Structure 1
């Protein structure tokens, strides 16, 4: 129901994957530089382990339950579990990746969700439709709807499939900046109805869709510097916002809305164009 936050105080459950094999070994977005990673590989690999462990500890400390996918060799981006599937009401709609580098992750995520997540159903997209999981399809508990990114990684037509499968509205938002290729890099829906977003990431039509559904007082627009810090790529529950870093101005805006801001640096993962939200898949969202 609109205006009634769901799950905001319930113990959240997440799917994560330890970064045992994480590295920037190919480039499928503007953030990824394999040569630069190779030049600093061992140091960055160690940093990734420390940063992931700190995020994991922060979530557990706030009351979260974490299920972990076993890492697999040659799947460096398996760590970004937000791309595994869209999950709501105990059902999962598995992702289908656009880039061949990530397609081998699909059966690994399917097995993990079927075996570990305790879901009632795990299903696949029709035909050859592309949709890259919760990283490109964000649940808005306040409005009882999904926001779905399209244009870079997910097909616009997938919004209709998501709406039919979960029996809720799914609003497609076209992304136009290749640096903000998944929706979770540019938008975060808080359980209070506030929406953090980076306007420059969206087409004019997408901005109008956001403005039609989110009243001005509940819009938190990011500037270029805040967006580049991946301030929208945050994990929100129990009136806490967990993210890699943020400006003082952004922190004040979020705290004014009743949230505690918890920063846990994730610089090694920003090198792949990912951050806190990308590293987690929420398993317990309910409509």
Structure 2
């Protein structure tokens, strides 16, 4: 039987987090993560406040080398933490293909392929569609779906799943449409909480919010409207919200990958690391700051393929099996 460390009944109890025994952190099933090597990554256009093509061009050799080394370090760390990695083939002229979190929303074996707001990213859509079709042909997905015409939703970048609460937090205001919430709810059968993003620096939900396996949620308060902050307090509880300080927010520290009790990110202050350690999490910093020049970090560079809802896991607790991993390189 596979234990889902994010299920509500498995959240660590109200005892002080620093006192949680190792047994309070059940090992999740082996994560399967989609990544794309940064062979063609660069900052060649501007679609968010982080992107400065002139700076990239003036430091191209340095930054390209740092991106390649940092991406490899992230992939290696995820391997060390037990993840299997599926690879999307990089493609010339698609520098942001590396941000695979934007490719789709994936849950319970279904993928909803992204539709991008900006024309610079729309050519990624057919590449990702073919990739997911390839995964389906290998039995790693059950079905692949497209967004309805006229609606934008930029994948898990704007549709972040909180498995323990059975909800998607959907960011709208910059890249994705609020109306996409109904599409997600109908397809995946999970509740969707639309939240307006108001700070253009935090243009995707995954730059502003990160649910953690113990039930806590990292968030950037200033990224949300007053109404949105109220909704988060109501749904999550003030004691479970971990506010990311401004100095960490602009390092994209909320754009983190959480695997069990491990949190992987680019960089965090001592205060944020201490706040996470106090709650029993181990923080892993990897040298991926160069991707911040395009507005992305650890979560943006990954997409979980194996996410399951609590409902689906409960329906078939004995049937979750490992599938032989063979990296997919589809263009």
Q: TM-score, normalised by structure 1?
A: 0.97
Q: Judge conservation of contact 1:3–1:143 (CA < 8 Å) in 2.
A: no
User: Which residue of 249, 253, 277 maps to 2:271?
Assistant: 249
Superposed displacement of residue 206, structure 1: 1.1
Unaligned residue ranges in structure 1 (runs of 5+) = none
Does the alignment pair 1:27 with 2:46?
Answer: yes
The 3 A distance-change label for structure 1 pair 257 and 268 is same
**40-49 or 69-78: bigger deviation:** 40-49
Q: Which residue number in structure 2 is paired with residue 94 of structure 1?
A: 113
Match of 1:69 in 2: 88
1:166 aligns to 2:188 (yes or no): yes
Contact 1:48 1:269 in 2 (8 A): yes
Find out whether 1:41 has 2:71 as its counterpart.
Answer: no
Check conservation: 1:15, 1:81, Cα contact below 8 A.
Answer: yes
For residue 176 of structure 1, the aligned residue among 174, 189, 198 is 198
User: Are 1:234 and 1:242, in contact at CA under 8 Å, matched by a contact in 2?
Assistant: yes
The alpha-carbon distance between structure 1 residues 234 and 26, as it changes in their structure 2 partners (threshold 3 A), is same
Corresponding residue for 2:253? 231
Is the counterpart of residue 59 in structure 1 residue 78 in structure 2?
Answer: yes
Q: Secondary structure at the match of 1:162?
A: helix
Give 3-state SS (helix, strand or coil) of 1:236's partner.
Answer: strand
Cα distance in 1 for partners of 2:218, 2:132 equals 29
Residues 91 and 7 from structure 1, CA distance in 2 versus in 1: closer, same or farther, beyond 3 angstroms? farther
Structure 1 SS opposite 2:202: coil
Distance 1:247 1:10 in 2: 30
Report the count of equivalent residues: 287
Equivalent position SS for 2:294 = coil
Pairs within 5 Å for 1:128-167:
128-167=150-189
Give the whole-Å Cα distance in 2 for the aligned partners of 1:228 and 1:108. Answer: 31
TM-score normalised by the chain length of structure 2: 0.85
Moved over 6 A (4+): none
SS at match of 1:233: coil
Counterpart mapping for 1:180-191 below 5 A = 180-191=202-213
Q: For residue 323 of structure 2, what is the aligned residue in structure 1?
A: none
What is the SS of the residue equivalent to 1:32? coil
Q: What is the RMSD computed on CA atoms of the aligned residues?
A: 1.3
Is the 1:23–1:76 contact (alpha carbons within 8 Å) kept by the matching residues of 2?
yes
The separation in 2 between residues aligned to 1:7 and 1:175, in whole angstroms, is 33
How far the C-alpha of 1:238 sits from its partner, in A, is: 2.0
Change (3 A) 1:210 1:8: farther
